[in-house]
Amino acid sequence: MSQPESALADARAGGRKDGTPSAGKESLAQLAERYGLRRAIARPSLPVYLRQLWERRHFVLTYATSRNISKYSNSAMGQLWQVLTPLLNAAIYWLMFGLILGAAKDMENYTAFLITGMFVFTYTQRAVSGGAKSISGNLSLIRALHFPRAALPLAYTVQELQQLLISMGVLAVLVLVTGEPLTWSWLLVPVALLLQTMFNIGASLVLARVGAFARDMNQLLPFIMRTWLYSSGVFFAIGDKIRDADIPQIIADILYINPAAAYIEVMRELLLKSHTTAPPWIWGVCVFWAVFALLVGFWYFWRAEERYGRG
């Protein structure tokens, strides 16, 4: 945020301000032009950029997998933690909210309701927080190698997606164990995840640029994430709560426009037979956020491409 725009303007304008060459000699810029040399720092057009990014897809995938592997490589049980971590998380939520706080009384199968919400929200939360650090935490990589910088936030989202796929396996088992039937609507789960992934990529691209220039973002982010968690209806059904509290229905509608709430609600509708409080237009919200975030995210991130790495 403190990045001076003038630096960019300088970089674009070319460096010929002072030291005008004496008569008869050409400037270095003219010499470069005569031999067809190009500026080392130049932002490619958006289509070219996306193609370059596509060419780096193997790097994105390998980088994400490597990060996931290296995360648990020091523990004795190794990759087993990829399954154990979500399982333990689920156990704690169930203990806290289901048993001790007793939120389960007025809802059918609260355990499945809670765990579904938590897993879906965690995916977005971790992808976005990771994205925010993906540029500022990898400056040495950015200063050493050439690649479209969007590969980094993308890799962080892919890393969380890989983790999520394991969590979803755990979730499916847990939901079935708590007594939900296996229905045809489960087939739509990948579609919901795809939409959520599109949103996550877009959001982490935006946050990556913000985090790259406003370092203080990393201090602020936990605040934002917690607020987001509480307002997304992870622990309660937004529709029911609003109705019970005699608040106008419009408030509930506004809360459902929140992308995290929408993705959570959609997943619950698909997995839990007993859960039907979301408005019918919730899929529309999911699609809108997915497309909107992806388009804006790439555009916004690409606009600063040549400035990442300056610090």
Partner 1 sequence: MAELTEELSHVKAEEPDVPSNKDVKVYPRDEKPAGGPEHSGTPTVIVDDLHIIYRVYGAASDAERGNAANALLRLVRRQGRPQMREVHAIKGVSFVAHHGDAIGVIGRNGSGKSTLLRAIAGLLPPHSGAVYTDGQPSLLGVNAALMRDLTGERNIVLGCYAMGMKPSQVKEKYSEIVGFSGIGEFVQFPMSTYSSGMGARLRFAIASAKSHDVLLIDEALATGDREFKRKSQERIKLMRQEAGTVFLVAHNLDVIEETCNRVIWLHKGKIKMDGPPKEVLTAYNRV
Taking the complex as a whole, the smallest distance from the CB of residue 7 to partner 1 amounts, in Å, to: 6
To the nearest whole angstrom, how small is the minimum distance from the Cβ of residue 87 to partner 1?
A: 23
Is 188 a binding residue for partner 1 by CB under 8 A? The answer is no
Residue 220 touches partner 1, criterion: CB under 8 A: yes
Is residue 303 within 8 Å of residue 156, measured between CB atoms? no
DSSP-assigned letters across all residues of 149-179: TTHHHHHHHHHHHHHHHHHHHHHHHHHHHTT
Asked whether the beta carbons of 54 and 146 are under 8 A apart, the reply is no
Nearer to partner 1, 210 or 252 (CB): 210
Per the CB < 8 A criterion, the answer to whether 171 and 91 are in contact is no
**Least distance (Å) between residue 260 CB and partner 1:** 20
Instruction: Using CB under 8 A, pick the residue from 39, 51, 243, 303 that binds partner 1.
Output: 39
Nearer to partner 1, 15 or 169 (CB): 15
In the list 23, 24, 40, 250, the residue contacting partner 1 (rule: CB under 8 A) is 40
107 contacts 237 by C-beta, under 8 angstroms: yes
Interface with partner 1 includes 20 (CB under 8 A)? no
Ranges within 44-63 binding partner 1 (CB under 8 A): 55-56, 58-59, 62-63
Kindly state the tokens that stand for 196.
């959520």
Provide the minimum distance between the beta carbon of 6 and partner 1 in the complex, in angstroms, as a whole number. 9
145 lies in the binding site for partner 1 (CB under 8 A): yes
Span between the terminal Cα atoms of the chain, in Å: 11
Q: Which of 219, 59, 296 is nearest to 154 (CA)?
A: 59
Q: 224-263 mask for partner 1 (x: CB under 8 A)?
A: ----------------------------------------
| Whole-number Å distance between alpha carbons of 259 and 261 | 5
Distance CA 38, CA 149 (A): 20
Does residue number 105 form part of the binding site for partner 1 (CB under 8 A)?
Answer: no
Supply 258's token pair.
Answer: 């929140």
- Which of 144, 187, 245, 250 forms a contact with partner 1 (CB under 8 A)? 144
Q: Are 223 and 200 in contact, with CB atoms under 8 Å apart?
A: no
Residues 6 or more apart from 237 whose CB is under 8 A from it? 107, 113, 275, 277
Among residues 184 and 223, whose Cβ is nearest to partner 1? 223
Q: What is the dihedral of CA 73, 77, 79, 84, to 10 degrees?
A: -130
| Residues 67-96 contacting partner 1, CB under 8 A | 67, 69-70, 73-74
From the CB of 19, what's the least distance to partner 1, in Å?
A: 6
- Give the binding-site size for partner 1 (rule: CB under 8 A): 59
Q: What are phi and psi of 111, to 5 degrees?
A: -55, -55
Task: Tell me how far apart the alpha carbons of residues 181 and 13 are, in angstroms, rounded to a whole number.
Answer: 65
| Out of 51, 215, 243, 303, the residue judged to bind partner 1 by CB under 8 A | 215
Q: Residues in the site for partner 1, rule: CB under 8 A?
A: 1-2, 7-8, 10-11, 14-19, 25, 27-29, 31-32, 35-41, 55-56, 58-59, 62-63, 66-67, 69-70, 73-74, 138, 140-147, 214-217, 219-220, 222-223, 306-307, 309-311
